[in-house]
Structure 1
């Protein structure tokens, strides 16, 4: 797909958020800034997604247009990456990162809940929620690593379609976990006077959630559709 094949900015509003994110490098930063769901809810047209959030559609389109105009000739959209290479990217950049980051976040959360017990701004129950999130995510990643990804590398058979549907459903569960984390922490905004550990915890949570959203987006909007069409 040539970079010149992108539709003009006026057409962005009619394209789905997920498709834009998959074909326009840098679009996810715009969607994240305006709190548009480009991963689990990526099948919604941009105009509808913006309306749901009360986000400025014209401003979003202008930002996407600016990104498109500034693309370097050698920038490759995610949709153009070969399946095996895309799977390798997901494994290294997301599976390994989640396994590295979540244990540290759980430890930080334990510390904050212990040291600041009684503080009305304390996100009580955050440690338990993070443990639950880590458990669900680990099971999900194992299924991909042991079953789904090897099958995708071997074949584009319609036999992959059912596991893909299951993974999409689990992604919806991860999306719910993200919403619970955001609600419990006030959008990862530390309260006034928060200590360094509390600040580091929320900064790390924001980074983890951003990576998880990118992870889900790449699978839902780029990798999985290559197999949805089979059969």
Structure 2
């Protein structure tokens, strides 16, 4: 379906577009629209709620439609899970470094009005909650999915989606604390590195959640799993 005007967005979910149109996730990030935790939302309604001009959004998405190459074959579940697990590894590797960096910046620049006070504690909380969430997937949910491609896991998936909503709220707090991941003029290299790292964490986590909410989980829910 070609997206030529804002009216063409109504009736389509943001998750559907993110899952089927290559490059759409970058467009949604640009317009600060949550495609990962609110994938079931009508994209036109969400645009209006976010104060996004639907004509501008439709134009950006239509440009992707016209330039896209054929969508590759949807990855098999094993391949998709393996890809998601690489995000798990990345979070575990990068979060401890970000926490250390945030504590350094908060301490050294304690008197600065734009210092990201509370960011280290937030990242520490995210690390703990993500670890519990990822372990549930690695030890229970993902192995069960690999064994039963036609099974349904509505209850555990509902819990995972609830966790994802919490992660989304934490990402928004992180964005606020870092001034939209933008260090102030004259910021030291550590502060610049912190904002860059936090932005990457948010981008990785959004993509990670999108792959689960909008692509993997629907394979095991409702009629799609019958």
TM normalised by structure 1 equals 0.91
Q: 1:61 and 1:117 mapped to 2: Cα distance?
A: 43
2:116 aligned partner? 123
Cα distance in 1, alignment partners of residues 69 and 48 from structure 2: 31
1:11-22 mapped onto 2 (5 Å cutoff): 11-22=8-19
Which runs of structure 2 are paired with 1:163-202 in the superposition (5 Å)? Answer: 163-202=156-195
Cα deviations by residue, 1:87-144 (Å, 9 ceiling, x for unpaired): 011112x111111111111111111112112212111111111100000001100100
- 1:70 aligned residue: 67
Aligned-residue offset at 1:159:
4.9
> Is the counterpart of residue 150 in structure 1 residue 150 in structure 2?
no
Does residue 138 in structure 1 map to residue 146 in structure 2? no
User: For 1:121 and 1:201, how far apart are their aligned partners in 2?
Assistant: 13
1:25–1:76 Cα contact (<8 Å) kept: no
1:60 aligns with 2:57: yes
Of 71, 77, 80, the residue aligned with 1:83 is: 77
- In structure 1, how many angstroms separate the alpha carbons of the residues matched to 2:72 and 2:20? 8
5+ long unaligned stretches in structure 1: 1-6
Partner-residue secondary structure (3-state), 1:205: helix
CA contact (8 A) 2:119 2:174 kept: yes
Within 5 Å, which residues of 2 pair with 1:209-224? 209-224=202-217
Alignment partner, residue 2 of structure 2: 8
State the aligned residue count.
221
Query: Is the Cα–Cα contact under 8 Å of residues 15 and 46 in structure 1 kept in the other structure?
Result: yes
1:46 corresponds in structure 2 to 43
Deviation at 1:156, TM superposition (A): 3.5
Equivalent residue number for residue 34 of structure 1? 31
Comparing 141-150 and 175-184, the one that deviates more: 175-184
**C-alpha displacement of 1:157:** 5.1
Pairwise CA distance, 1:12: 3.4
Contact kept? 2:145, 2:151, Cα under 8 Å: no
- Distance in 2 between residues matched to 1:70 and 1:104, nearest whole Å: 38
The C-alpha deviation readout for 1:20-43, integer Å capped at 9, x for no partner, is 000011000100000011000111
Aligned alpha-carbon RMSD (Å)? 1.4
| Aligned partners of 2:181 and 2:196 also within 8 Å | yes
Tell me the alpha carbon deviations over residues 169-210 of structure 1, each in whole angstroms, 9 at most, x when there is no partner: 111111111111112222112112111110110111011101
